[in-house]
Structure formats: C-alpha cells, structure tokens
Amino acid sequence: MFPGLLLFVGSLAAFREASLNSSSSDELPLPLQNIPIYSEKLNLALLSALAAGRAMRESSSKSQTTSTSNLKIKSTSTTVDFATEVDLANEKMIMSNIARSFPADLIIGEEGSEAGDGYTFTTKPTWIIDPIDGTTNFVSLNKMCCCSIAYSENKQIQVACVHAPFLGETYLAIRGHGAYLNGQVIKKMFQKPLTDLNIIAEFGYERSEKSVSAMTAAMGKLLQKGCRSMRQYGSGVLDLCWVATGKCDASYTGVCGEGWKIWDYAAAGLILTECGGCLEKLTDAGDFDYTGCSMVASASPETNEILRRVVLG
C-alpha cells in the first residue's frame, strides 16, 4: 500500500538496508549499541519508526499535489479525533515487526485501543505505539507530527524512540543511559523561574463550555503570573521532547478532560527524564501514572509545584 511500510521478511540487516533512504540515521548512538536486551529493542523501534516516517512523507507528498482526502480519514471517538489510513498502516507495520522479533511481548497501539479494543498496562514486557502523534497536524500538512515507540517492563519505560520525519528529528533513549537527538546526547535540563518559562498546553478534544473555560482560565493565570509565553503545537509527544531539549520549558495537561493517553507519555516521558527532567501528575506530586490523564513536566519538582499551584489554584 505504502512503499515505506516494510515488514521484516528476512534478517534485521535487510530491514536496515531498506531504511537507508531515510533522512535520519538508522544507527544507534555508540553508547546505546551494546546494552543487553535493550539495544536490540531500541534498534527495532528505530528502524520501524523510520519506515513509518517514510510512509508519512510519501503520503504527505501525494496530498500536496492532490487533496488531503488522499489520506482517507477515518473517524474515531469525535469529529475532532480521527485516524488516517497511514496511522492504521503504520501501526500494523510496527506491530508486525515486533511480533516477528519478540513474539512474547505485549503491544498497546493507539489506533487499536481507540477503536474499542482498549488496553491493560501490566508488568509484562509491553510495547506502546503511537503510529502518528499529531494526526490533525499531519492531515493539515503541518510538520509537527511524529511516530512514537516505547518498550516497558514492570510498568517502567525502558526504551524510547520518537521520529519526526518532517522536522528531521529522531529522539532515542534507554533508561539509565541518557537521551539522544539525531545521535547527539541531549544536555541536562536546568531550572528556570516562572518568568522565563515558555509553557506548552494543549486543548485536546474538549469542546464543552465548562472545559474550554477551565483550560483558558489556567492559561490566563499563568500569563498573569508572568510566564514568558504559552504555546500549543498539537503533538503531546513532541511537546515533551521539546521540553527535554530546551526548545520549551514546561508542559501540562489534565485541567479537565483534555488529558493525554499512555502513548503520548511513554516514549517522550523517558526522553525527558533521561535529560534530568521531572515528570509528575498535575494533581499531586506522587509517582507518575502512565495510564492517567494528569501530567506536568519541567526541569525540576520545584518548577512543577509552582505550575501546579498556579494552574489548579
């Protein structure tokens, strides 16, 4: 269907060769290449994400010369939440690659879960996939979209890969071994005062008067307290990656029903924490709940608490 959606039909080396046309490197950074179990998992995630990125670029290129209807949009839960044929094909491809290499592992995929299958996040080895995060951006030919793949054990994310094909950004991380952007280690984050913070908050799919009022009121309180700016990019995964790299300084969700899902947090959350960032619930400073819909992320627990008090106060 899409030339970029390649399944494993032979060796891993053959699949790597198929990825050479990608604009991003298909090689893991040297410090991530020889970590037992996890390097192999990350390599699989990287090659699958690059293939997904190629499919996104090819489909987008066709849409620029025809119409976005070429993307064959499929409705999901609401008129503002939908999947494209590329979302579905990417997820199928990634799940097939995982099943061939690690048949005992469980898989949580956004499109399958949102379609009504649901999911249960357990202590068993589990992959968490978002085949296209920022689908609305993707359909609109906006570059802020990506493929996100994470791997967890005992409910801890161990491996993360985020590939944004239109931005030329590939983020990789293994727990305890740092995070990388395009092969270069991401520097540790540092704390800033509220007046220096560029903060990201997404509206999500909430449209009720009560919810919209709550979300805009929270932003208003942050602006009145003097934060440098408020931003909304339309991709929760890239929001967290950009906080990790310092392009922005904080992000939050969960004021009302706009909270994110496990596939939004999983890979990007590990990338953030491997850069020294702090990922917590917005509602309280307890252990982060990947299955919840409340999140605040910044360089430190102190900054998170400042944001928590302002947003919820």
Out of 87, 91, 133, 169, pick the active-site residue: 133
Active-site annotation holds for 136: no
Task: Give CA–CA dist 89/101, Å, rounded.
Answer: 19
Q: Cα 313–294–124 angle (5° rounding)?
A: 155
Active-site annotation holds for 305: no
Per-residue b or e along 133-154, where b marks 16 or more CB atoms closer than 10 Å to that residue's CB:
bbbbbbbeeebbbbbbbbbbbe
Out of 110, 111, 274, 280, pick the active-site residue: 110
Active-site annotation holds for 284: no
Are 32 and 47 in contact, with CB atoms under 8 Å apart?
no
Active-site annotation holds for 274: no
Residue 240 contacts by C-beta under 8 Å, 6 or more apart in sequence?
A: 251, 265, 268, 269, 271, 272, 279, 297
Active-site annotation holds for 26: no
Out of 76, 135, 245, 273, pick the active-site residue: 135
Active-site annotation holds for 271: no
Out of 91, 130, 169, 274, pick the active-site residue: 130
Residues annotated as catalytic are 110, 130, 132-133, 135, 264
